[in-house]
Amino acid sequence: MTPEETVDRFIELLCSKQVDAACELVDDACEYDNVPLGKQFGPEGIKALLGPMVDGLDEVVFVIHRQAVVGNLVLNERSDRFRLGDRWIDLPVAGVFEVGDDGRIVLWRDYFDANTFNEQLAALLA
Amino acid sequence: MTPEETVDRFIELLCSKQVDAACELVDDACEYDNVPLGKQFGPEGIKALLGPMVDGLDEVVFVIHRQAVVGNLVLNERSDRFRLGDRWIDLPVAGVFEVGDDGRIVLWRDYFDANTFNEQLAALLA
């Protein structure tokens, strides 16, 4: 797979709630950085954060608005959408992905506004 | 100029505090979207927001960490740094730029955490 295909497949697996399968595309030393909230590392860090979240949701959709690639770098602009019952979180996100030479993701960094996420999460769980 | 050269030149002019000259590279209908804070439109909107800010600062530096281009789209990951006296704001940003067929910027959208900016701005002005 190309770096772009790897990132597209990773997102596709996350959005079908297959976090373990998605993490097979992730390097052991991967940095997963939710910029305003903090970092996790490696497949286990990603699973620890996203596993319970994804399991608790009814639907996960990453809408890719724009994406550009150079070498092993994939940058995208997205709306990440999370549904619980009939309520949605809709989070504007810009993502940075780097894929190592062995084809696994070594960096996933998301830029977003923490309050935009936290306020919608509180409303979702209310 | 290519779309990437246009964006690079636009940023170079902003960082040399030449907002009017930078805005000559901006389309009349340009959308300038600071995602968590709101939108401005056109050169006049950009000048109204950034002109007084840039004039009041001693130094403006956009550090480009990563950049990828496809067609008229330029995506980048930056640290936008603003100095007043010996104090700095250092804001992690992901930017989305689109350049129209006539070579002017039609979209500039920045993703960042509003609190990260506002708390540093308050400290800068304290």
* Residue that the structure tokens 């930078």 belong to: B22
Question: What value of ipTM does the predicted structure carry?
Answer: 0.96
Give me the mean pLDDT over the B25-36 stretch. Answer: 98
Whether the model clears a pTM of 0.90, i.e. scores above it, the answer is: yes
Q: What share of chain B is helix, strand, coil (3-state, %, to 5)?
A: 35, 45, 20
Catalytic residue among A80, A90, A101, A102: A80
Burial (0-12, 13-18, 19+ Cβ within 10 Å), B24: exposed
In 3D space, the residue among A77, A93, A89, A88 whose CA is nearest the CA of residue A35 turns out to be A93
Q: What DSSP string describes A31-64? A: EEEETTTEEEEHHHHHHHHHHHHHHH-SEEEEEE
Choose among A66, A67, A116: nearest Cβ to B36. Answer: A116
**pLDDT at residue A92, rounded to an integer:** 98
**Known catalytic residue: B80?**
yes
Instruction: Tell me the C-alpha distance between A2 and B80, whole Å.
Output: 31
Tell me which of A4, A31, A76, A111 to substitute to probe the interface with B (most B C-beta atoms closer than 10 Å): A111
Q: CA nearest B71 in A: which residue?
A: A68
CA B46 to chain centre: 9
**Mind listing the pLDDT tens digit for each residue in B81-97?**
999 999 999 999 999 99
Structure-token pair, residue B94: 């992901």
**pLDDT at residue B126, rounded to an integer:** 87
Q: CA nearest B70 in A: which residue?
A: A68
Contact A66 B111 (CB under 8 A): no
- Chain A residue numbers touching B73 (CB-CB < 8 A): 66, 68
Contact B66 A74 (CB under 8 A): no
**Mind listing the pLDDT tens digit for each residue in A42-64?**
999 999 999 999 999 999 999 99
Domain ranges across chain B: 3-125
What's the CATH code, domain A3-125?
3.10.450.50
In 3D space, the residue among B85, B74, B77, B79 whose CA is nearest the CA of residue B117 turns out to be B79
In 3D space, the residue among A96, A94, A98 whose CA is nearest the CA of residue A112 turns out to be A94
Strand partners, A105: A26, A99
Q: CA nearest B33 in A: which residue?
A: A92
How many A-B residue pairs are in contact by the CB < 8 A criterion?
72
pLDDT tier for residue A117 given thresholds of 50, 70 and 90: very high
